Structure 1
Amino acid sequence: MTGHAPGYGLPLLVVLIGLGYEWQCLRVAGWSAWRGAAFQTGAAVLIVGLVLPVHDFAGHALQHLLVAMVAPLALVLGAPVTLLLRTLPVRTARRLTRLLRSHPARALAHPVAALLLTTGGLVALYLTPLYARMLTEPALHQLVTIHFILSGCLFAWVVAGADPAPHRPSVLARLVLLGVAIAAHATLSQLLYAGAYVQVPATAADRQAGATLMYYGGDVAELLLAFAVVQSRAASRRVARRPHRPVLLAR
């Protein structure tokens, strides 16, 4: 199996975003230190996942776990959109709000769309020749990595994000949505372990090690996401009680 030397373009971008977030925190009086720590933890986990050398399927599974499941949850708990809206000029903040309330943004942020982008991406990666092509095409590998980072952040934001989001259903409905994602993830992990229907060019031992990591590591990440779901409303209210410009997105 061909591995890729880690590139440093994306990690550098994450570092710059983390510095930008920290600078914005200093501009907002009373911004939650907990939220700041959550975002920076997510950025650190994302950087580790991006620079992790991947030479086998187990390494790929660890990278996916870090960049697509663990890091996104911590990042969205940092409420970066709310922070940005509080620090932008009023006119710019209103434009950003209109963009987030636009029909394309609302369609993308629909819970079903977020679910399809995350689970559908995994199905496409492992049940088609996409994974094998990714091993020999660095540009494709970068695109796939970016997709999973963004789709992971989208799903975490829709399900448990601290920032307001359109179409956000009740806590019970979000837990059901998360349950569907857990079932899909577990099923795919089992298919990988058995070597059934998947197109992953790896030894049986390597494939099973990666599948085991995805199964149990994914369970831990999803339990953390479920905990964040039941805590999200109280946390959002605590953030909302601090002085800030109104956020016009519907919850």
Structure 2
Amino acid sequence: MEHGGHGMPGMPMDLPPFTLGQGLAFTGGDPFFLVGCVLALVLYGWGVLRLRRRGDRWSPGRTVAFTAGVLTVAVTMCTRLNDYGMVQFSVHMVQHMIISMLSPILLLLGAPVTLALRALPAAGGGRTGPRELLVKVLHSRYLRVVTHPAFTIPLFIASLYGLYFTPLFDTLMGSRAGHIAMMVHFLAVGLVFFWPIMGVDPGPHRPGYVMRMLELFAGMPFHAFFGIALMMASEPMVSTFKNPPASLGIDALGDQTAAGGIAWAFSEVPSVIVLVALLFQWYTSEQRQARRKDRAADRDGDAELVAYNAYLASLQARGGRG
């Protein structure tokens, strides 16, 4: 069957109309992502087991979050969603939104960097092992640059407008390697954008909670505007999806409008998840600080309060003499 776009060579063009059941059928997808997902789960599991064996605790919630993050990548890239995403704009947009906005948040909530720092053995003897290498990367100038809001926010925005509204998208969709590179890019951009905002793992930038919320909301409106631009367009804007296979039974412009609606609506999802996570972190941080102050007061007989009362008394005495 003819396909007017730049679909990937060897891609089946006789897909039936999209349904959730059809889309979620496991196909293995690109081996790159299948191997990557299995490897991520194995390494994370090894880290958790290593901590448990030496009697250290690791939050089950973090394990669940990381596993869910890996599974969202697997569902996006290792099911028939990946086939439909090559020829149907709305399905591709679901893939893009999940892998760039939902998967990174779940993976980061799993605190993989913290786990690696705690689980990897120290090389010792002044040698550089995997743990020392990770510490070096975390303190590198390169990481300070790529996780700075002045870099991450423009990159987050450019990944939408610079890709879909230029011929670059069609070029990447024309080959399997290009498609993999694009999806890896979406995941990587999501990770560097949300990493400083989530603040679960150690990193070069750790702004206060209010600043993190501002960073989050600085990027999200551009996702909404991008979705609206697609919805308002009077003709198909991406060559790859201009002539969808007849077997899908869809209209290119109608499907593009649906893709725009997905991009617009999905921008709210990460905002809510991250906001809830930040507020929870803020609350627990305040609780920890209050407990620390209480313990200090118990140890020193509340010396800070005694000193403050003495200071007030001295001010009052000085005022009385005046």
TM-score bracket, normalised by the shorter chain, equals 0.7 to 0.9
> Deviations 1:35-93 (Å, cap 9, x if unpaired)?
00100000001111112221210011010111111111000000000000011122432
Whole-angstrom distance in 2 between the partners of 1:237 and 1:30: 22
Post-superposition shift, 1:235? Answer: 6.3
Name the structure 2 match of 1:135. 173
TM-score normalised over the length of structure 1: 0.87
Letter in 1 for 2:69: G
Whole-angstrom distance in 2 between the partners of 1:2 and 1:56: 12
Name the structure 1 match of 2:47. 24
SS in structure 1 at match of 2:267: helix
Aligned residues of 1:191 and 1:197 also touching (Cα < 8 A):
no
Gaps of 5+ in 1: 239-251
Whole-angstrom distance in 1 between the partners of 2:114 and 2:215: 24
Aligned residues of 1:58 and 1:207 also touching (Cα < 8 A):
yes
Name the structure 1 match of 2:105. 73
Name the structure 2 match of 1:246. none
Whole-angstrom distance in 2 between the partners of 1:68 and 1:120: 13
SS in structure 2 at match of 1:18: helix
Aligned residues of 2:157 and 2:223 also touching (Cα < 8 A):
yes
Gaps of 5+ in 2: 12-28, 124-128, 243-251, 288-322
Instruction: Map residues 66-145 of structure 1 onto 2, 5 A cutoff.
Output: 66-91=98-123, 92=129, 93-145=131-183
Whole-angstrom distance in 2 between the partners of 1:85 and 1:237: 25
Instruction: State the percentage of identical aligned residues.
Output: 30
Post-superposition shift, 1:33? Answer: 0.5
SS in structure 1 at match of 2:90: helix
Letter in 1 for 2:61: W
Aligned residues of 2:6 and 2:170 also touching (Cα < 8 A):
no
**Aligned: 1:10 with 2:33:** yes
Whole-angstrom distance in 1 between the partners of 2:31 and 2:281: 33
Post-superposition shift, 1:131? Answer: 1.8
Post-superposition shift, 1:233? Answer: 4.6
Aligned residues of 2:76 and 2:99 also touching (Cα < 8 A):
yes
Whole-angstrom distance in 1 between the partners of 2:148 and 2:109: 19
**Aligned: 1:49 with 2:76:** yes
Match of 1:37 among 33, 45, 64: 64
> Deviations 1:132-154 (Å, cap 9, x if unpaired)?
22332222111111111111111
> Deviations 1:179-215 (Å, cap 9, x if unpaired)?
1111111111111111289841332101101111111
TM-score normalised over the length of structure 2: 0.69
SS in structure 1 at match of 2:277: helix
Match of 1:170 among 186, 201, 208: 208
Instruction: Give the CA RMSD over aligned residues.
Output: 2.3
Whole-angstrom distance in 1 between the partners of 2:204 and 2:211: 14
Name the structure 2 match of 1:59. 91
Name the structure 2 match of 1:244. none
Letter in 2 for 1:229: L
Aligned residues of 1:128 and 1:198 also touching (Cα < 8 A):
no
